[in-house]
Structure 1
Amino acid sequence: MIAPADLAYCEAAIRTGSYSFHAASRLLPGRVRDPALALYAFCRLTDDSVDLTDEKSAAVLSLGERLELIYRGTPRDAPADRAFAAVVEQFAMPRTLPEALLEGMAWDAMERRYPTLSGVYAYSARVAAAVGAMMTVLMGVRCPYALARACDMGVAMQLTNIARDVGEDARAGRLYLPLDWFEDAGLDPEAFLSDPRPTPEIRRMVKRLVADANRLYFRAEAGLSELPLSCRPGMFAARYIYAGIAAELGRADYDSITRRAHTTKTQKLGWLAASAIKAGSGAVMPRSAVLYAKPLPEVAYLVEAAADTKPDHSPWGQGRTGELISVLAQLEARERARRDALATSARRAS
């Protein structure tokens, strides 16, 4: 079980770092809400450790070491690590899922760009759909159809984030929009990054991303009937809050360069109330044929890992060790090259 002091730390971190999730989590039953707070606190730690430092490669490598200690059952002496280690043990969390998150952070540290929308999906699978799959595991659900729809929700949320943050990312030198969209529009990505403007072409890209997110929100909602009744209000709330951000982008004519779409506290409270009403309107929600849609190819490995209730060799599986080691090795090489370059520069200066 999560130590009370560690749980309090996690809740405080989420309350200040992710208001949308904290608001939605209030509708979850305690048996799910507490481990979910621990999960999101660790995810927040992962995200901030990379985003808020210039030493991104070193930060990801350090997170890899921390995750290894967690799965050994000897977490680092820090509240978020201890709390997440308790979650891993209690729920036999498949190792593939948090490793996917770490791999996505590594891609960020490598400043990877994505030639097509499939690449954006693959990135979203790691940094968001993996979290959706972990949340589903916390609810005691291993149904592959429910997991596929949870991954749809995660990808939709990340597409919404990308659409909302185009300007902010560009000013930081980051680009998540598919490169082939720029080619089709006759735009140079480097020119856009050097002078980001809400041109008609860029607005159309944002609109296209929002439309794709909305399609996935629709698919995701079909999976809510497979969740415990007590968990549905929280998941409806998450779906409506993020879809609300997408709607705000539409109201701004898809300009996410000069402004950042956000929702108000009043709106969030309205969505929380609507979610509770919708989820409680009947003890059984009718199944939709959309439930049985195949998972996105980019998230299929997450669904397979989370649905496997008897992973090989250990209670928590072995994860995708080879893939993660390869990415971390690339990061380590980059970090070594960076240090060598700094040392050479220092010698020349002296």
Structure 2
Amino acid sequence: MIDPADLEHCKASIRTGSYSFHAASRLLPGRVRDPALALYAFCRLTDDAVDLTHEKTEAVLMLGERLDAIYRGQPRNTPTDRAFAAVVEDFEMPRTLPEALLEGMAWDAMEKRYHTLSDVYAYSARVAAAVGVMMTVLMRVRCPHALARACDLGVAMQLTNIARDVGEDARARRIYLPLDWLAQAGIDIEAFFDNPRPTREIRKLTRRLIADANRLYFRSEPGVAALPFACRPGIFAARNIYGGIGREVARRHYDSINTRAYTTKGQKIGWLIQSTLETLVVSVMPRSAVLYGKPLPECAYLVEAAAERLPSDNPWGEGRAGELIAVLAQLEAKRRQAQPVAALVEERKRAI
């Protein structure tokens, strides 16, 4: 159980640092909302520790030590670490998931750039999809199909963030757009950093990223119906709020340099109401086949880490290794059965 004082600290940090999540979390049931606040507080701490310091490498290494202490059951004596340690223990949170988030932060500390859209997906898998999978675990859902769609939603949200922050990132000499897109558009990165302008080419790339995010938002929606009924409005709200940010970018003609898209309190309230109605609709609709689509390849390891392990019919073990051992065992049994017959044949030959 999370200590109430630690939980209050987490709530305060989310309330002032993540308006979109704070709004969406209001629609989650308490049994999910409280551990989710602890989770997001830890994720926010991780993000800020890297973004708000010049010693990014030291910050990442320190976070690695804190995460290691949490999984040893000896968290640092801070409200955020104690609260997240309680979540890890209560929900048996696979370590791969927060470690993926930490790896994404390490990539930021290294100022890594991404050559292809797949590379951007790989980054988004770590800093966003991993959080979506952890949220699904908090709902006590380990279905691989639901987890795959949670990854779609996380990646879509991160693509929206990247599209919204093109100008802000450029002024900090950061770039998250795929480098091959920039090369195809004839954009010199250093020249763009020196003078960020919403040129036609940059706006086209921003539009392309928003379009891909919208595709993934669509893929994610059937996964919401696989979640507990009480959890669905909160997840729809998160999807609608971030989708709304993307629409604001589009409304500004994909200029994320001169202005930064944001949503108003009134819009958020409207999306919260819409999310409740969508929950009622999906509850009576037949399940979409999109639910069963494969996860993005860049997210597959997150799904594998969190998915429920079903009992195996193979006594030799699971996966390809178990299958091979089973085949070899069958050959060995066949050889042993054949030995008495062969001996009998030799005996008959000698008798003749």
The interval holding the TM-score normalised by the smaller chain is: 0.7 to 0.9
- The structural deviation recorded for 1:268 is 0.1
Q: Distance in 1 between matches of 2:274 and 2:143?
A: 26
Aligned to 1:2: 2
- The structural deviation recorded for 1:281 is 4.2
Please tell me the residue identity of whatever aligns with 1:165: D
Q: Distance in 1 between matches of 2:237 and 2:285?
A: 16
Query: Any conservation in 1 of the 2:225–2:283 contact (CA below 8 Å)?
Result: no
Aligned to 2:132: 132
Aligned to 1:59: 59
Aligned to 1:163: 163
Aligned to 1:220: 220
- The structural deviation recorded for 1:280 is 2.9
Q: Distance in 2 between matches of 1:250 and 1:133?
A: 28
Normalised TM-score (structure 1): 0.87
Aligned to 2:147: 147
Q: Deviations over 1:215-243 (max 9, x none)?
A: 00000001111000000000000000000
Query: Any conservation in 2 of the 1:225–1:286 contact (CA below 8 Å)?
Result: no
Query: Any conservation in 1 of the 2:103–2:126 contact (CA below 8 Å)?
Result: yes
Larger radius of gyration, structure 1 or 2?
2
Q: Distance in 2 between matches of 1:170 and 1:107?
A: 17
Which has the larger displacement, 274-283 or 156-165?
A: 274-283
Q: Distance in 2 between matches of 1:13 and 1:309?
A: 35
Pairing of 1:57-96 with structure 2 (within 5 A) = 57-96=57-96
Q: Distance in 2 between matches of 1:62 and 1:19?
A: 27
Q: Distance in 1 between matches of 2:306 and 2:257?
A: 37
Normalised TM-score (structure 2): 0.87
Query: Any conservation in 2 of the 1:160–1:242 contact (CA below 8 Å)?
Result: yes
Q: Deviations over 1:80-116 (max 9, x none)?
A: 0000000000000000000000000000000000010
Residue aligned with 1:57, SS: helix
Aligned to 2:197: 197
Query: Any conservation in 1 of the 2:144–2:308 contact (CA below 8 Å)?
Result: no
Pairing of 1:81-120 with structure 2 (within 5 A) = 81-120=81-120
Please tell me the residue identity of whatever aligns with 1:125: A
Tell me the number of residue pairs that the alignment of Structure 1 and Structure 2 aligns: 310
Pairing of 1:29-68 with structure 2 (within 5 A) = 29-68=29-68
Aligned to 1:176: 176
Q: Distance in 2 between matches of 1:115 and 1:282?
A: 38
CA change 1:150–1:126 in 2 (3 A) is same
Query: Any conservation in 1 of the 2:143–2:308 contact (CA below 8 Å)?
Result: no
Query: Any conservation in 2 of the 1:10–1:79 contact (CA below 8 Å)?
Result: yes
Q: Distance in 2 between matches of 1:238 and 1:230?
A: 14
CA change 1:285–1:135 in 2 (3 A) is farther
Q: Distance in 2 between matches of 1:130 and 1:269?
A: 27
- The structural deviation recorded for 1:191 is 1.1
- The structural deviation recorded for 1:282 is 6.3
Aligned to 1:233: 233
- The structural deviation recorded for 1:284 is 4.5
Matched, 1:248 2:255: no
CA change 1:142–1:285 in 2 (3 A) is farther
Q: Distance in 2 between matches of 1:274 and 1:119?
A: 34
Q: Distance in 2 between matches of 1:115 and 1:24?
A: 33
- The structural deviation recorded for 1:283 is 4.3
Aligned to 2:335: none
Please tell me the residue identity of whatever aligns with 1:116: T
Aligned to 2:276: 276
Aligned to 2:337: none
Please tell me the residue identity of whatever aligns with 2:248: E
Greater relative contact order (CA < 8 Å, ≥ 6 in sequence): 1
Gaps of 5+ in 1: 311-350
Q: Distance in 2 between matches of 1:226 and 1:126?
A: 23
Aligned to 2:185: 185
Query: Any conservation in 1 of the 2:225–2:282 contact (CA below 8 Å)?
Result: no
- The structural deviation recorded for 1:309 is 4.6
RMSD: 1.0
Please tell me the residue identity of whatever aligns with 2:52: L
Q: Deviations over 1:121-150 (max 9, x none)?
A: 000000000000000000011000000000
Same amino acid, percent of matched pairs: 75
Q: Distance in 2 between matches of 1:185 and 1:273?
A: 41
